[in-house]
Amino acid sequence: MIPALSRSPRPPVAALPPAARRLIVATAAAAVGLAVLAIATDVAMPSAVDVAMLAIAIAGGEAVRVDLPYRRGGTARFTLGDATLAAGLLLAPPTTVIAAAVLAITAWQLLERQRLVKLAFNVAQYVAGAAAATLVVQLLAPRPGAIGPSAVAAAAIGVALFLVVNTVTVAGIIATTSGDGFTVTVRRMIGTAALLAAGNACLGLLAVLLLTFHPWALPTLVVPLVLLHAAYRQEVRARVDRERSQAFVEVEHRLGDAADPDQVLTALISGVGAILGSSAAVWRDGVWLGDIPPGSGPCPVEATMPLPLVTQARVLGPAVAGECVALSLGDAVLVAWAGELDPHGQGREWLERLAASGRVHAQRSVAATFLRQERATLGAVVDGTGDGILVLDADGLVRLCNPAMAALAQLDGDAALNLPVADVLGDGPWGSEGVHDVARGDGDSERVWRVSVSTVRDRALGELRVAVVHDVTAERRVARMKDDMLSIVSHELRTPLTPIKGSAQLLRRRWERVPAHRREELLAQIEQRADHLTRLVEDLLLVGQLSSTGDGAPRVRPARTDLAAFAREASGQLAAVHPDHEIAVDAPETLSAVTDATRMRQILDNLVGNACKFSPAGTQVDVRLADEGEWLLLAVSDRGRGIPPEDRERVFECFERVEDPLVMTTSGAGLGLYIVRALARALGGDVAVDSMLGVGSTFSVRLPATAGAMPPATQPARVG
């Protein structure tokens, strides 16, 4: 049994792995040592005629051979030389057997023009096995001698040892050069090696017995010899086909797992090596995919060619010698060369199977890639939408809960999967088609969902219910605010208009009969009510301006201002507007600051007006202005009814009033404090309230003393 790697690419000696080189050296050393020991046991000089005859017989047996291919590692060769060797072990002394083995195997290697390193290994492993066999025979039944049962048994044991040495060394060189594991290689070889070696040994021993006792019967061995050789070839071919089929199944699995066309092509290239031990590459879009020899050119073959093309490799692009095969993959070309490739036989058939499978899986991977992209897009839409999406199966189990739905329901979306919807969200219209409003919670925490339920049918899951949930709590609150605003504004507009209209009608119809002082009172009333309307309209315009901007910050125009003089002047004017209250000012002689005087006047007007509105007539309203270093304090205190703690934050919201609308005793649209907070924050400060029921309230506005602390303006001031 001699390894023959003639069908594999022949790398230079320097390209051999270090393990392979060490194995070759160790085999050669073992061959020399065993041969010396075997020759030392031989007491007679060998006959040149005997050596020549046995060498010719071994060489003749080597001509009848069966090759067992290995992936990426060439072939292991089984020959009838083993039968001739078995005969030599029975008939000839050790020196004759070893000399004949060296001559025969060396002659065959030279005839096959093997490289020196390969010749050395093949001769060394053969001689090592032969020497070990002769040593065993010499120990059990020294040769030459009588041929009896003990001699035949010794020769059989020697042939078995020859088999072991050859199998181990050949498996080692294949494993070190191909990358396959040593154990896997031995397991693959041992069955065929044992069968063929046993048959060869029996054939050789039988030939010796016939030659010794019945020479006339030797020609009858021709028929068993032919049948044995045919059986060898059939068994090896069946083993190779089984291994290739197993490799094809593994490649099919890898092709099936490929997620995109590039992975399909990669699996296809590696599959050619796994099944045929051949090299392969793919030409696609003007580029080679896979390991291609340096100096290779483009592939001139069209990807749509109908049949495989067999020609010289350089014609198809790869810079290698010999023939190669090109096959269409639909949008690419598979090119394979070297290894066990038989361009006109089974190798081509396996390539055609691979190419057909590659085309199918390439199309599948394209469709799968498109489907993944569609799923990713749909998943992004479902996960990114602001509305909650809930998918239920026919049994009411949650199949999908997007992040928005999980946030709305304040639950873990993944934990809700495959649970009954009633256990996750409680009772609701989850199984009823149509649009439904669902209220959850109560009081200030109440949320209102608008649930739109529709039915879709899925091939895998059957009938599904898809619920799209939109939180309409804010919309409903805005709607209520609009209703409240219309009610309040219409009331506030009608309140001053009624006395204006009444006074105007009275003056127009009875001007001459109305006393002069009474006419002055009526005109003053008209003017006062008109001023009230003006302030209300200005407040509404300012609220509209604050609501229409992204962050609700009006533009401010800071300038150097004496706030002390400003406060005294403004308070004097406000005293005329609110004659039923005494407005007291506590301020330093001067207080210079960089701020917007117009916005400050709006803040003061609203705070003083609010204090007068909610405190009894005849009480005092205090306006205090103080310097607190980097901050300025403007505080307005009243002696009114006070504000409950739970309402102190709500009073700063738009159109909010503490009084019950059914029994309220004061007028107003609920805009003043909302405007105060917005303007204070626009000036870089804020407003706070400190209140005690039955005692009164103090609203404190703290503002920066310099313009540097003010936020940037966001829009031009249109009111002021």
285-341 pLDDT, tens digit per residue, is 899 998 888 889 999 988 888 888 888 888 888 888 888 899 999 889 999 987 667
Q: Tell me the CB-side half-sphere exposure of residue 250, using CA atoms within 13 A.
A: 12
Average pLDDT over residues 266-293: 89
Quick one: pLDDT at residue 474?
79
Verify that 505 and 583 share a domain, yes or no: no
Contact assessment for residue 585 and residue 623, using Cβ atoms and an 8 Å cutoff: yes
Verify that 56 and 141 share a domain, yes or no: yes
Q: Tell me the CB-side half-sphere exposure of residue 644, using CA atoms within 13 A.
A: 6
Q: Which distant-in-sequence residues (6+ apart) come within 8 Å of 325 by Cβ?
A: 308, 309, 310, 335, 336, 337, 341, 343, 347, 348, 351
Sheet hosting strand 398-401, strand order edge to edge:
398-401, 388-392, 462-471, 447-458, 434-440
Quick one: pLDDT at residue 267?
92
Looking up residue 422, the CATH number of its domain turns out to be: 3.30.450.20
**Of 221-230, 401-410, 708-717, where does mean pLDDT reach its minimum?**
708-717
DSSP string, 348-409: HHHHHHHHHHHHHHHHHHHHHHHHHHHHHHHHHHHHH-SSEEEEE-TTSBEEEE-HHHHHHH
Residue 218 counted as domain residue = no
Q: What is the C-alpha end-to-end distance of the chain, expressed in Å?
A: 109
How many separate domains does the chain show?
5
Q: Are strands 434-440 and 447-458 parallel, antiparallel or unpaired?
A: antiparallel
pLDDT score of 180 more than 50:
yes
Quick one: pLDDT at residue 715?
37
Structure tokens, 42: 């031989």
Specify the amino acid at residue 74: G
Quick one: pLDDT at residue 298?
92
Verify that 498 and 353 share a domain, yes or no: no
pLDDT score of 568 more than 80:
yes
Residue 312 counted as domain residue = yes
Quick one: pLDDT at residue 718?
38
What separation in angstroms does the CA of 216 have from each of 143, 210, 221?
A: 25, 8, 11
Residue 428 counted as domain residue = yes
pLDDT cut 70: percent of the chain above it: 82
Q: Tell me the CB-side half-sphere exposure of residue 566, using CA atoms within 13 A.
A: 21
Average pLDDT over residues 609-630: 86
Contact assessment for residue 469 and residue 429, using Cβ atoms and an 8 Å cutoff: no
> Largest alpha-carbon pair distance within the chain?
170
The predicted-structure confidence for 23-81, as pLDDT tens digits, reads as follows: 889 999 998 999 899 888 877 777 888 888 888 888 877 776 656 555 444 555 556 67
Average pLDDT, the chain: 79
Residue 476 counted as domain residue = no
Closest residue by Cα to residue 91 from 103, 100, 102: 100
Verify that 172 and 41 share a domain, yes or no: yes
Verify that 578 and 654 share a domain, yes or no: yes
Quick one: pLDDT at residue 537?
73
Quick one: pLDDT at residue 649?
80
pTM of this structure:
0.49
The predicted-structure confidence for 91-130, as pLDDT tens digits, reads as follows: 888 888 889 888 988 888 888 787 888 888 888 988 998 8
Residue 231 counted as domain residue = no
Quick one: pLDDT at residue 4?
36
Sign of CA dihedral 502, 503, 508, 511: positive
Is the pLDDT higher at 680 or at 544? 680
Sequence-distant contacts of 615-618: CB under 8 A, at least 24 apart: 615/581, 615/639, 615/640, 615/641, 615/696, 616/640, 617/580, 617/581, 618/580, 618/581, 618/582
Verify that 288 and 411 share a domain, yes or no: no
Is the pLDDT higher at 443 or at 438? 438
Verify that 543 and 564 share a domain, yes or no: no
- Please report which helix (H) or strand (E) contains residue 470, including its range: strand 462-471
230 CB neighbour count, 10 Å cutoff: 11
Residue 634 counted as domain residue = yes
The predicted-structure confidence for 211-238, as pLDDT tens digits, reads as follows: 777 777 767 767 776 776 677 677 767 7
Verify that 129 and 172 share a domain, yes or no: yes
Residue 220 counted as domain residue = no
Contact assessment for residue 651 and residue 615, using Cβ atoms and an 8 Å cutoff: no
The predicted-structure confidence for 466-514, as pLDDT tens digits, reads as follows: 999 988 887 877 777 676 666 666 655 666 677 777 778 888 888 888 8
Query: Three-state secondary structure along 24-68?
Result: HHHHHHHHHHHHHHHHHCCCCCCCHHHHHHHHHHHHHHHHCEEEE
Entry field: residues in the chain: 720
pLDDT score of 282 more than 90:
yes
The predicted-structure confidence for 138-169, as pLDDT tens digits, reads as follows: 888 887 878 888 888 888 888 888 888 888 88
The predicted-structure confidence for 633-666, as pLDDT tens digits, reads as follows: 999 999 888 888 887 787 877 666 555 443 444 5
Looking up residue 335, the CATH number of its domain turns out to be: 3.30.450.40
Contact assessment for residue 688 and residue 635, using Cβ atoms and an 8 Å cutoff: no
Verify that 15 and 137 share a domain, yes or no: yes
Is the pLDDT higher at 407 or at 716? 407
**Of 355-359, 381-385, 537-541, 680-684, where does mean pLDDT reach its minimum?**
537-541
424 CB neighbour count, 10 Å cutoff: 21
Quick one: pLDDT at residue 1?
38
328 CB neighbour count, 10 Å cutoff: 21
Residue 170 counted as domain residue = yes
Quick one: pLDDT at residue 662?
39
Verify that 394 and 428 share a domain, yes or no: yes
Quick one: pLDDT at residue 114?
79
204 CB neighbour count, 10 Å cutoff: 26
Q: Which domain holds residue 453?
A: 385-471
Verify that 151 and 34 share a domain, yes or no: yes
Decide which of 548, 581, 596 is a domain's last residue.
548
Looking up residue 39, the CATH number of its domain turns out to be: 1.10.1760.20
Verify that 146 and 56 share a domain, yes or no: yes
pLDDT cut 90: percent of the chain above it: 7
Decide which of 213, 236, 267 is a domain's last residue.
213
Is the pLDDT higher at 502 or at 703? 703
Decide which of 471, 501, 531 is a domain's last residue.
471
pLDDT score of 283 more than 90:
yes
Q: What angle do CA 706, 712, 718 make, to 5 degrees?
A: 105
Sequence-distant contacts of 236-239: CB under 8 A, at least 24 apart: 236/66, 236/67, 236/68, 236/78, 236/192, 239/68, 239/191, 239/192
Angle between helices 563-577 and 597-613 in degrees, nearest 10: 40
pLDDT score of 558 more than 70:
yes
